[in-house]
Structure 1
Amino acid sequence: MQKRILTLGVATLLSISCFAQNKLPKNANAVKFSQAINPTDAYKHLSILASDEFEGRDTGKKGAWMAADYIRDYFKSIGLKGPVDGGYFQKVDLINYAISQSLFTINGQPKEANKDFIIGTAAVGLNGFTFNTNDIVFAGYGISKDGYNDYDGINVEGKVVMIFANGDPTVKATDKMDARMAKMALGRKIFYLTQNKAKAVILIDPKIDNITDHYKESFLESDVMVKNEETTKRMQKQHPFVSISISTATANEIFKIAGTSIDAVQGKIMSTMKPASQNIEVAISASAMKTEMSVRGENVLGFLEGSDPKLKKEVLVLTGHYDHIGITPDVEGPDKINNGADDDGSGTTGVLLMAKAFMNAKKAGKGPKRSILFMTVIGEEKGLWGSEWYSEHPVFPLENTIANLNTDMIGRIGEEYLGKPDSANYIYSIGSNMLSTELGKLSEQVNNTYTKMKLDFKYDDPKDPERIYYRSDHYNFAKHNIPIIFYYDGMLQQDYHRPGDEVSKINFQLLTKRAKLTYFTAWELANRAKRPVVDKK
């Protein structure tokens, strides 16, 4: 008995000493089971999730469904339970509005949709559109600037205007625009017409002549959206500017009526460097309708029930978003797939690794006292949809949710740390002190005990111009006064939302160290006597 008392006394002294040094007593079991979080397994997961086969995991697309299936199957294989009526998918009610029919006629002669002309879903409101006109305004390249104005002396209000989709006669041929610049230039042309109350625009687009599947999809695939009252009201009020793209052959039919051609008007503009705008008497009619379609989308949930009869009703939620932005058909270069290895294949991988670590502990009889929900969410890139859906339709009561630890981009070195001594040993820790002083202190104690990384709190600044605190899934827990920590690598420029965000650029040692910091923090939260106190709003 004396030996036991002595042992307890030493343990107490060690504990007091650790807290005095802003540390926790190291838990041998936590360290033992953290071995499941390793670069080898991280690579196995991420090389699949961020492969070309998954097509950038765009919400509502095949690649995202493949990712959801992969995550579900993995959760099931390691023994996590499906908490949604026995399943692992929480359906998020997603819809899009696809073009159901479209019409374009010249002097009563119908043209063939998606060959002679194409009407994009973005140009069609919820209730569709129709118009008829007996004359149109041809306004060259649709440019209005000092020294050259296709609209000089022309009032476009209430008119159907035809322009070249691309090009600018005042720009030298050597100053070629890339796809992004061309899209911005077209946006400025359309903005001018909307501001000046034109009825519609007909865009002469040579890409329609031999339209590729990807280019066609960029017109016909509408943005997926969450179906709720707010979205429906917004769509009903929306009156988008009508835009119709036509082939050069279709354009020449119209020009022929005016006794000219594309080559003739372009040649005249280039030789004189003056606009060749004119009114063309031609009967044009156009219409399009939309149909609502349901789209598959789901959060993937795996549940580990706590071992303590009193504490297991309390739930810690670990999140990462598995979606990305898909394929960009008009990007320069042969690689058009945005693989999203870092954003957020890395954070999703972190969640899978932590799930394995905790399940190994559970199987060895060392599982957490509180329950843990491992949740990878959809639609983050669209507007934090999946996490918002969960916060509005929680599987476990929000009042029983003690905290959310969110990993979103944990696999690379951000711009501010490139070439610096801490480049391979830092993480931006965001929001740990926003709602709970206690959680903030615990986070630092865990780091000082286990991982000894540099915690950068830059983005906790209320004046942060990037507003990072509001830009990932943790925010949908924070707004319900649930304490959160958001772990982030700070990559905002290099390859961000570009095809260059590839698996080959991931630092797997750094990814796993950051995932371990999250895991050790989760271990403490899931096993300590009390949940973190919320003392701020």
Structure 2
Amino acid sequence: MKQLILLFFSAFLITNCGTSSKSSASSVNMNEAKTVDPTVYASTITAEELKEMLYKYASDEFEGRETGEKGQKIAVEYLKNQYQSLEIPTPLGNDNYFQEVPLEKQSVSEAKISVNGTEFKSFEDHIVLRADNNIDLITNDIVYVGYGIDADNYSDYKNIDVKDKIVLAKAGEPKDANGNYVTTGNSEDTKWSNGRQSLSSKRDAALQNGAKGLILLDSYMFIRYAPFYQRQAANGASGRLSLKSNDDGMVMLMVNENLAKALYPSILEDEKPKELKTNLNLAIENKSEQISSENVVAYIKGSTKPDEIVVISAHLDHEGIKNGKIYNGADDDGSGTIAILEIAEAFKMAEKAGHGPKRSILFLHVTGEEKGLLGSRHYTDNDPIFPLENTVADLNIDMIGRIDPKRKEGDRNYVYLIGSDKLSTDLHNISEEVNKKYCNIELDYTYNDDNDPNRFYYRSDHYNFAKNNIPVIFYFNGTHDDYHQPSDTPDKIEYDLLENRARLVFYTAWEIANRANKPVVDKATE
């Protein structure tokens, strides 16, 4: 890391992303940030330092940084040491930079099920998707909830009591006479009808309405999932990591038509919720291993609005070691992780010079992104260090060191932006004008399209903030042949682009942190 004196020499150098003190004026009123020239501090974000740190962070020493494993522990200690060397404190106090994220690694559980005295077989008729505790119950009190949807304009839970009961639902979502989904009024798949996302959406709806279990008929997904679960069980392999639940006894099963019709013969034809008087015997042994993992948190306290928080996030984990090969994850997401360290240094230099941000900045390195956005979900859903209602925006950085080979037109000096306009027109305009004033990077919104088949908006840690109506920007360079491969190594990073993109995030955070008004949320979702 540099000494402060270097700032005043580098401030006069002109690079691709605004380190000249003579940067052009913007058409947007940015009076709040004019009193201090942020290019002085942006100049501390350099390709040379990014390269030095990334060669360390994405080295074999870190063993691929798999969540809960040795390499991830090395990674969090590295990040902690960096913040300590920068004299940037932790919001947790007492030099505790680690927010504990409780996880479970669950082996495949097998259920014993009988309906009205008829037994059904694991993997042929049913699979256990979730079992937080051992289950041993006999009941004839099951509630059919149609599609299991609970949205503002359509709910299968309206006027029916499911508290402490098992609910039965089916896949999909009803459509109107024009073939449009009833929850949105258009034909594009929603969170209730889109594969894996629908599983979590219907589970959450059941849980939020007080149900203790969900049985879901999804014939298409069952055909795909059942053989995989059976192989996992036969091999004694562990399932996916998940957040350790505080819910008492929540269980989720996926079943085929054979079992679903035993529970309710008219399930395929009928959509109307109703109580069922069907005798169900269900026994499950929960098989799980407790795993410890950590988010890393550091912050700079705001000078005049310390209770308002700007979050800058990236995920610290990667894929670990597979078949003896280390997945170093230099771009994914070593690039974002190291970028945050450089951005943090720039803000700290400003603070030391008497120009600290008006709002507080939280530097949030999350674990378990590769396992399902677990670290960020723990932060937003279980343990927000700062209240979500005080969180102004999340700027999330996930892969900003490479060039997308599928991008055939446009400037090499680009970045994909996702989500900037989805909740706040203000945030989108701030982002655009900051870029025009300081960087002139080509901002590419290809993957911001609501119809993007890749659904990148839902696939990185910003989404856990966005679902809580916190404005977000996701900075991304796109995928490449080395994505999730052991060949994602630091020698393939375009360090000049990494520098420019990191500086863009810094300038955007600077403007959000120092302007008089926080971005207005004018497109809040349900």
TM-score class, shorter-chain normalisation, is 0.5 to 0.7
Please give the residue correspondences for 1:229-244 in structure 2 after superposition, counting only pairs within 5 Å. 229=246, 233-234=250-251, 237=253
1:126–1:238: 8 Å Cα contact kept in structure 2? no
Higher helix share: 1
Of 391-400 and 18-27, deviating more is 18-27
Change (3 A) 1:234 1:50: farther
1:344 aligns with 2:333: yes
Q: Tell me which residue corresponds to 2:242.
A: 225
Q: Output the CA distance in 1 between the equivalents of 2:424 and 2:432.
A: 13
Shift of 1:224: 2.6
1:372 aligns with 2:361: yes
Residue 319 of structure 2 aligns to which amino acid in structure 1? I
Give the alignment partner of residue 392 of structure 2, picking from 402, 410, 418. 402
Residue 491 of structure 2 aligns to which amino acid in structure 1? S
1:94–1:295: 8 Å Cα contact kept in structure 2? yes
Shift of 1:54: 1.1
1:516 aligns with 2:503: yes
Shift of 1:20: 3.4
Change (3 A) 1:368 1:502: same
SS of corresponding position for 2:72: helix
Identity %: 44
Give the alignment partner of residue 20 of structure 1, picking from 22, 27, 33. 27
Q: Output the CA distance in 1 between the equivalents of 2:250 and 2:64.
A: 30
Please give the residue correspondences for 1:189-268 in structure 2 after superposition, counting only pairs within 5 Å. 220=237, 222-229=239-246, 233-234=250-251, 237=253
- Length-normalised TM-score, structure 2: 0.63
Change (3 A) 1:125 1:328: farther
Please give the residue correspondences for 1:53-452 in structure 2 after superposition, counting only pairs within 5 Å. 53-86=61-94, 87-97=96-106, 220=237, 222-229=239-246, 233-234=250-251, 237=253, 292-308=288-304, 311-329=305-323, 336-392=325-381, 393-417=383-407, 420=409, 422-423=411-412, 425-452=413-440
What is the count of residue pairs matched by the alignment?
A: 367
Residue 300 of structure 2 aligns to which amino acid in structure 1? L
Shift of 1:450: 0.5
1:525 aligns with 2:512: yes
Q: Output the CA distance in 1 between the equivalents of 2:466 and 2:436.
A: 25
Q: Output the CA distance in 1 between the equivalents of 2:514 and 2:396.
A: 19
Which one has the largest radius of gyration?
1
SS of corresponding position for 1:529: coil
Shift of 1:194: 6.0
The runs of 5 or more residues in structure 1 that have no matched partner are 1-16, 100-121, 129-189, 204-217, 240-288, 330-334
Give the alignment partner of residue 486 of structure 2, picking from 495, 499, 524. 499
Q: Output the CA distance in 1 between the equivalents of 2:388 and 2:377.
A: 12
Shift of 1:95: 2.0
Residue 20 of structure 1 aligns to which amino acid in structure 2? S
1:342–1:409: 8 Å Cα contact kept in structure 2? yes
Task: For residues 64-108 of structure 1, give each alpha carbon's deviation from its aligned partner in whole angstroms, at most 9, with x where no partner exists.
Answer: 111111111111221111112431111011122479xxxxxxxxx
Shift of 1:442: 0.7
Change (3 A) 1:98 1:361: same
Change (3 A) 1:232 1:224: farther
2:130–2:250: 8 Å Cα contact kept in structure 1? no
SS of corresponding position for 1:355: helix
Shift of 1:123: 13
2:132–2:245: 8 Å Cα contact kept in structure 1? no
The runs of 5 or more residues in structure 2 that have no matched partner are 1-23, 109-127, 135-221, 256-284
Shift of 1:458: 1.2
Q: Output the CA distance in 2 between the equivalents of 1:430 and 1:480.
A: 17
Change (3 A) 1:463 1:372: same
Shift of 1:345: 0.6
Shift of 1:522: 0.4
SS of corresponding position for 2:392: strand
Task: For residues 137-178 of structure 1, give each alpha carbon's deviation from its aligned partner in whole angstroms, at most 9, with x where no partner exists.
Answer: xxxxxxxxxxxxxxxxxxxxxxxxxxxxxxxxxxxxxxxxxx
Task: For residues 397-455 of structure 1, give each alpha carbon's deviation from its aligned partner in whole angstroms, at most 9, with x where no partner exists.
Answer: 1111111100000000012336x5512x1000111111111111110100001010000
